[in-house]
Structure 1
Amino acid sequence: MGKSQKADKLRKLNSAYIMMYFSALESRGLKVLPTHRVINNLPDVKLCSLKQALADYFIIEDFNNYKDLSQRLTSAKTSEHFFGLYLGNKIFYLLKLKKTTKKTARHTRGTYKDLDVVILHSLIFKKILGIKEENSRDQQILYTREENLAIQLVNSKKYQAAFFMNPPRPRQISAISESLQKMPHKSTYFYPKPLSGLVINKLAMESEAHVAF
């Protein structure tokens, strides 16, 4: 069977098609939501010395509730890198990357170097906490978009620390795409998403019904 015949056969298969949705990246209705990280299985030594280790790279501010932390977190300017941290006991911390340590924190070049998620994983997770790359995907880190869930998991002692993120800016995502690279793991969550449901062809005895999701 020649290439053209294979292509014709493939076009007749339902599996050869996929539904896609396009939206302008600059659209006001399109949002990128942050994905927060909740950590467990940290050695007690690492956990106890975490604030001291972070102070070498970040300016640290304390807050008594998440609402105040969230307002401060989202106030970050384009050139600033802010992170939220919760270790329990109803005390929240804002981590503001020091200007003098920006070059140290950026372990990558090009468009990747300004992504908060890259700084979080390379500087805090890898360098300070010693979390290995193979453990950073779902084994030692829980990813969630729900701040309350992250806080509850730390309060329940099931997890030890929660890191809160700002979402990447649309222009950063665009720059990564234009350079033919992929965004880091769990770094983009576009909202709103297209509605999904069940579609059924008209049922008839002489024809086969097709179901698609």
Structure 2
Amino acid sequence: TTEDPLCRFEADGVTHSVWRITDTARIDAIRTAIGSAPIVIADGHHRYETSLAYRDERRASDGDGGAADAVMTFVVELVEDELDVGPIHRLLSALPDGFDLLEAFEPFFDIEAFVFTDAPTVRRLQELGGLVLVVPEGAWLLRPRPETIAATRDLDSSRLDLALASLPDHALVYQHGVEHIRAAVDSGAAQAGVLLRPVTIDQIIAIAEGGEKMPPKSTFFAPKPRTGVVFRSID
């Protein structure tokens, strides 16, 4: 568009621009384009379910949902060029002193030493076909054992959840960024970290077409609108 945006600002190195669309023909064209194909909920399942529950409450109490019959949605084309899908990594703590994570993970993964280099770590994980366990003593590549993880979904988060279920009680924190994981382990803030590969667009589509939901905290999407840029009253 050649029109000036309603607002434009930068936050965390990302420029956000917002345009108001008032032309009814353009609105109808957008509605037709979006309505001509299924919508895949790639992120926000719980928010969507909460919106449905609130709509039903309004219908039950007021006879109709009113403004709650619609929910604000950010829609992008589900293709690699339009959407960047990043991983959400894991931090582990509160494990028993001296607990051997390598031994615990051995039934689920083939394990070999991993050395960090200047190359992007997540890209290396995709090339090597595995996850990485980060502990104070070093790092280890975890390649899933097909015979053990065959029953899980084709996602690193599902494979890791299977392995984590075998551990004693522990605390789990979700964390973005390889450097944040390494820093937390190096500082002792966490006993270990696990680096995951990003989910692919094909995996997202396959899970949605199978009638399933993505596991919680399995994806981080960009572009991501800044929270609070647009508000909508549902009173």
Do the two structures share a fold, i.e. TM-score over 0.5? yes
Contact persistence 2:114–2:132 (CA under 8 A):
no
Tell me which of 161, 169, 173 is aligned to 1:121.
Answer: 161
> Over aligned residues, Cα RMSD in angstroms?
2.9
Distance 1:67 1:38, change over 3 A: farther
SS of the residue corresponding to residue 75 of structure 2 reads coil
The alignment's TM-score, normalised by the length of structure 1, stands at: 0.69
Contact persistence 1:39–1:160 (CA under 8 A):
yes
CA distance in 2, matches of 1:18, 1:159: 38
Tell me which of 110, 127, 140 is aligned to 1:75.
Answer: 127
Paired residue for 1:29? Answer: 82
Deviations 1:91-128 (A, max 9, x none): 2221112xxx31322344xxx2x111111111x2112x
Distance 1:149 1:115, change over 3 A: same
Paired residue for 1:204? Answer: none
CA distance in 2, matches of 1:38, 1:196: 25
Deviations 1:147-170 (A, max 9, x none): 211111111112100000001111
% identical aligned pairs: 29
CA distance in 1, matches of 2:183, 2:115: 15
**Alignment size in residue pairs:** 174
CA distance in 2, matches of 1:93, 1:38: 15
SS of the residue corresponding to residue 214 of structure 2 reads coil
Runs of 4+ with deviation above 6 angstroms:
none
One-letter code aligned to 2:142: L
Distance 1:151 1:177, change over 3 A: same
Aligned-residue offset at 1:59: 2.9
One-letter code aligned to 1:65: F
Unaligned runs of 5+ residues in structure 2 are: 1-58
Which of the pair has the greater relative contact order for Cα pairs under 8 Å at 6+ separation? 1
Unaligned runs of 5+ residues in structure 1 are: 201-209
